[in-house]
Amino acid sequence: MAEEAIKISGKKQSTFMDKVREVLPEGGNLNLCLTCGACSSGCPATGLSGMDPRKFLRMAALGLDEEILKSDWAWQCTMCWRCMYVCPMKIDIPQLIYHTRKSWPRENRPKGIRGSCDMALKHDSCSAMGASEEDFKFVVEDVLEEVRNTQVGWEDLQAPINKQGAMFYVNQNSREPVTEPDEMVPLWKILHKVGADWTYGTKGWAAENYCMFLADDAAWKHIVEVKAKAVDDLGCKYWVNTE
Ligand code: SF4
Ligand code: SF4
């Protein structure tokens, strides 16, 4: 089915463009687009809701903020940054999309992302699935014991928790301990084989941060601060976020 044409009646002021110029070094380079289409060709969200990154940027440049906000495409972007990576002018389209998301009232933003962010704010575990510090510890210890007892050659496998002074603090996506606990084991084995000095922490163990995807700056910051504090409190040198 043919897409409905967007009517342009004179160039308008773009709030999105202005907002992004405020946060990018030297105002960004949003006007340097060559319309080459490299961004759109590699974007996993191209074609969804009749949109692609090049079209999105052109619409913003033309001040079509209202038309942009009628589309839910900004929420279909994965924030993968592929568009920016391939762009010959290194135009920060994800930043533009992020600011579009911020223009939505919080209560109108996608329920799934909003619910995951809100859930993460409830516990110091930062788990978007609501798994607590105790839940995580229990699952890790349970899976570790099973591997040690049933897999030949892995009797001394380690999955340390709250190991003070470890070199690496490793985060874990909630999906594994909650729905696929065995999926944690390959990473433990790799770390074991290379002799890494690592640990999980009970506080701030969850790697995901849906508050970032929700474009909720305050909540995003809070989640990062809780996790960073957990790393510092254990005296770890490096924070390895598996997301
Ligand atoms: S890759 Fe960059 S220059 Fe090319 S169309 Fe996309 S934004 Fe414009
Ligand atoms: S960041 Fe968004 S717009 Fe850019 S390539 Fe990824 S999905 Fe597409």
What's at 32, amino acid-wise?
Answer: L
**203-216: pLDDT as tens digits:** 999 999 999 999 99
How many whole angstroms from its chain centre is CA 63?
Answer: 28
Percent share of the chain, pLDDT over 70:
91
- For ligand 2, atom 6: residue with the closest CA: 80
Q: How many helices (H) and strands (E) does the chain have?
A: 12, 3
Reply yes or no on whether the pLDDT at 12 is more than 70: no
Reply yes or no on whether the pLDDT at 24 is more than 80: no
- Taking the centre of ligand 1 as the mean of its atom positions, its distance from the CA of residue 95, in whole angstroms, is 14
- Helix residue ranges, H only, 71-193: 82-86, 93-102, 111-120, 133-150, 175-179, 185-193
| Residue pair 59/67 in contact by the 8 Å Cβ criterion | yes
Ligand 1: does its nearest atom lie under 6 Å from the Cβ of 161?
no
Would you state the pLDDT for residue 148? Answer: 98
Rounded to two decimals, the pTM is 0.85
Would you state the pLDDT for residue 243? Answer: 76
Reply yes or no on whether the pLDDT at 31 is more than 90: no
- For ligand 1, atom 8: residue with the closest CA: 33
**Distance in angstroms (rounded) separating the CA atoms of residues 96 and 193:** 43
Reply yes or no on whether the pLDDT at 19 is more than 80: no
Which residue in the block uniquely carries the two structure tokens 């924030």? Answer: 79
Let me know the angle formed at the C-alpha of 67 by 57 and 6, rounded to the nearest 5 degrees: 85
Would you state the pLDDT for residue 28? Answer: 60
